[in-house]
């Protein structure tokens, strides 16, 4: 093969590689791999649902593996009261709700799916909400954090989800628990939640909030801090 042929062959090979990468998004975040979700609902009460595969796995350090035998959901308040629940205890102790909700990511994609979860309000009330408790900090297994006002949970039926489209949350989406932060940008929807903290520290900023994202996270406003 002469030099000219080598150049032409190399050009074609690089072009094909770039085309494949554009098709499969090699240089960006990929859609969640299509997995066999037996029983996944694609319609609920006459409303079409997005597929689980429409999500993107956008964790800060990869989706963690969770051992349910050792997993505990820790809940604490600002005066040191604490509760610790096994996975099954959370499902059995608190009121469950189903609701179809849209999630909007700052990356530009969105999904509308059916979530099933327990009421956050009841979890907070079980550990005890003091007059000093102003915010709720969500901690995730991978080190992620975000926060929302206590009043947000008291005035709304916000759930901590354990199912999506009728099946158990896949680990890529947040197993064992994901916060369904309605009317908030996606970075407020903490996944892989293992600790819920009531705090008086109104100056707390979570992972993305400390990097310039809005602390409110309201959908009707920019996700960037003014």
Extents of the domains making up the chain: 1-30, 34-211
> What's the rounded mean pLDDT across residues 130-139?
97
Which residue reads 């600002």 in tokens?
A: 78
With cut-offs at 50, 70 and 90, classify the pLDDT of residue 37: low
pLDDT band at 31 (very low <50, low <70, confident <90, very high): very low
Tokens 């997005």 — which residue?
Answer: 50
pLDDT of 15 > 70? The answer is: no
- Stretch 173-194: mean pLDDT: 97
Q: How many other C-beta atoms are found inside a 10 Å radius of the C-beta of residue 53?
A: 16
Strand positions, DSSP E, the chain? 43-44, 47-48, 73-76, 82-85, 96-104, 110-119, 135-140, 145-149, 159-164, 167-168, 178-180, 193-199
Q: Are 215 and 203 in contact (CB under 8 A)?
A: no
Q: What mean pLDDT comes out for the span 118-141?
A: 98
Residue 101 has pLDDT above 50, yes or no: yes
CATH level 3 topology of 34-211: Sulfite Oxidase; Chain A, domain 2 (3.90.420)
Check residue 59 and give its pLDDT. 86
Averaged pLDDT, 6-11: 38
Residue 30 confidence class, pLDDT cut points 50, 70, 90: very low
Please report, in angstroms and rounded to a whole number, the separation of the first and last CA atoms in the chain.
60
Check pLDDT > 90 for residue 27.
no
| Residue 215 binned pLDDT confidence (cut-offs 50, 70, 90) | very high
Residue 3 has pLDDT above 90, yes or no: no
The CA-atom distances, in angstroms, between 170 and each of 91, 108, 180 are 17, 22, 15
pLDDT score at 65 = 94
pLDDT exceeds 80 at position 19: no
Least confident of 36-50, 85-99, 180-194: 36-50
pLDDT given for residue 24 in this prediction:
36
Instruction: Quote the pLDDT of residue 38.
Output: 72
Classified as helix, coil or strand, 175 is coil
CB contact at 8 A, 122 and 96 = no
């Amino acid at each position: 093969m002469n030099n000219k042929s080598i150049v032409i062959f190399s050009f074609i090979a690089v072009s094909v590689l770039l085309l494949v990468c554009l098709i499969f998004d090699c240089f960006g975040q990929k859609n969640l791999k299509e997995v066999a979700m037996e029983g996944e609902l694609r319609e609920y009460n006459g409303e079409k649902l997005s597929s689980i595969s429409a999500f993107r796995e956008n964790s800060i350090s990869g989706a963690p593996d969770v051992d349910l035998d050792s997993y505990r959901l820790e809940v604490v308040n600002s005066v040191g009261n604490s509760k610790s629940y096994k996975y099954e205890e959370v499902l059995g102790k608190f009121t469950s709700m189903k609701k179809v909700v849209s999630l909007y990511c700052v990356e530009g994609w969105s999904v509308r799916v059916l979530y099933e979860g327990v009421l956050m309000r009841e979890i907070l009330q079980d550990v005890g909400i003091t007059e000093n408790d102003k915010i709720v900090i969500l901690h995730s297994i991978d080190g992620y954090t975000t926060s929302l006002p206590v009043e947000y949970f008291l005035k709304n039926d916000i759930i901590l989800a354990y199912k999506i489209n009728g099946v158990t949350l896949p680990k890529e989406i947040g197993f064992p628990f994901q916060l369904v932060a309605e009317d908030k940008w996606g970075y407020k929807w903490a996944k892989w939640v293992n600790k819920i903290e009531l705090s008086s520290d109104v100056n707390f900023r979570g992972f993305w909030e400390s990097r310039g994202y809005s602390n409110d996270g309201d959908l009707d406003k920019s996700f960037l801090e003014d």
